[in-house]
């Protein structure tokens, strides 16, 4: 338990449900490692109560908060100002109160890119195969384009959603995105391949499933999965067996939190501490969903 004083500043996470969130243990460990007089608390907030929660947090002087399902889209409409990342993805996962004004940011995509950078994986000018076209794919796609990715090939079960995401990303940078059918996506794994799974396929309890059957990954290829339960999905296991570099879903989770913490406190986030706590929590809950 962190020590709480009259001076302690408050951060938090809102969600519905929020009880599965990994952020409280991860952020409180980070705040303790930095020696900061802050506490990070979970708040169960129903969708209809979101405007009241935002006003209550503002009135009570919270420094900021994270948002998870189902609030990320609605929050964008409620904040006073939003970063480019939040506007482009249409979501807010981090709010920072600055002089009473609520600034909305989205650290999911930047966190994903930061996770790649921390692992020494270059994004600039690189061709990417993006599996999925939901909210996570949108956040990651927007940030990859901002990071100067080469060509983005999107494959999704529902083709119309892939078309929609490609149109959005092409609006950000003309010609960057194209769509390929999921059935033939394995053929799109070319030289210098960077394959990113943003779908939930492979997640507990359906761990015997993979979003595509990898046949080959060229030397120097990297396969990334945002699923973190299990840490090594069927897709990542296959990629490892084929000799590819693999990055699991823990990295995005750690780095989206680290970027939020940096925004709120101005401190360099202790990424190693955050990863260690997250891995310990994941191990405790392994298989539990």
Footprint on this chain of ligand ATR (rule: CB under 6 A): 132-137, 156-158, 161, 198-201
Q: CA-based angle 68:115:70, to the nearest 5?
A: 10
Q: CA-based angle 47:82:40, to the nearest 5?
A: 60
Q: Which of 18, 54, 72, 273 is catalytic?
A: 72
- Contact (Cβ atoms closer than 8 angstroms) between residue 79 and residue 103: yes
155 Cβ contact partners less than 8 Å away, ≥ 6 residues apart: 129, 130, 131, 162, 179, 180, 181, 182, 185, 188, 212
Active site residue 72: yes
Q: Which is nearer to ligand ATR, 104 or 269 (CB)?
A: 104
Q: Say how far apart CA 262 and CA 257 lie, in whole Å.
A: 9
16-41: b or e for each residue (b if 16 or more CB lie within 10 Å)? bebeebbbbbbbbbbbebeebebbbe
Backbone angles phi, psi at 125, to 5 degrees: 65, 10
Q: Cβ of residue 72: shortest distance to ligand ATR, in angstroms?
A: 8
Q: Which is nearer to ligand ATR, 24 or 132 (CB)?
A: 132
Q: Cβ of residue 288: shortest distance to ligand ATR, in angstroms?
A: 19
Closest CA to 141 of 168, 115, 180, 116: 168
Closest CA to 251 of 269, 267, 272, 236: 272
Q: Say how far apart CA 226 and CA 243 lie, in whole Å.
A: 19
Q: Cβ of residue 66: shortest distance to ligand ATR, in angstroms?
A: 15
Q: Cβ of residue 200: shortest distance to ligand ATR, in angstroms?
A: 5
Q: Cβ of residue 138: shortest distance to ligand ATR, in angstroms?
A: 8
- Contact (Cβ atoms closer than 8 angstroms) between residue 176 and residue 152: yes
> Minimal CB distance to ligand ATR: which residue?
134
- Contact (Cβ atoms closer than 8 angstroms) between residue 192 and residue 126: yes
Q: CA-based angle 89:40:70, to the nearest 5?
A: 35
Q: Which is nearer to ligand ATR, 200 or 207 (CB)?
A: 200
Q: Cβ of residue 53: shortest distance to ligand ATR, in angstroms?
A: 21
Catalytic residues: 72
């Amino acid at each position: 338990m962190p020590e709480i004083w009259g001076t302690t500043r408050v951060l938090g996470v809102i969600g519905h449900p929020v009880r599965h969130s990994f952020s409280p243990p991860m952020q409180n460990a980070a705040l303790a490692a930095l020696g900061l007089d802050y506490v990070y608390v979970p708040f169960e907030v129903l969708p209809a109560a979101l405007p009241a929660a935002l006003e209550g947090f503002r009135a009570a002087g919270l420094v900021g908060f994270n948002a998870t399902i189902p609030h990320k889209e609605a929050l964008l409409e409620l904040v006073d100002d939003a970063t480019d990342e939040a506007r482009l993805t249409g979501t807010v996962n981090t709010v920072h109160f600055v002089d009473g004004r609520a600034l909305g940011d989205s650290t999911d995509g930047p966190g994903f890119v930061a996770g790649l950078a921390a692992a020494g994986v270059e994004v600039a000018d690189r061709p990417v195969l993006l599996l999925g076209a939901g909210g996570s794919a949108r956040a990651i796609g927007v940030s990859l384009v901002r990071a100067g990715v080469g060509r983005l090939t999107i494959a999704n079960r529902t083709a119309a959603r892939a078309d929609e995401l490609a149109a959005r990303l092409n609006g950000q940078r003309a010609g960057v995105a194209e769509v390929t059918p999921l059935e033939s996506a394995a053929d799109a794994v070319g030289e210098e391949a960077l394959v990113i799974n943003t779908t939930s396929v492979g997640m507990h309890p359906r761990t015997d499933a993979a979003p595509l059957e990898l046949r080959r990954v060229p030397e120097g290829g990297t396969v990334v999965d945002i699923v973190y339960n299990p840490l090594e999905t069927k897709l990542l296991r296959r990629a490892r067996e084929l000799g590819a570099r693999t990055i699991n879903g823990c990295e995005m989770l750690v780095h989206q939190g680290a970027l939020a913490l940096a925004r709120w406190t101005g401190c360099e986030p202790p990424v190693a501490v955050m990863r260690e706590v997250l891995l310990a929590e994941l191990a405790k809950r392994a298989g539990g969903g």
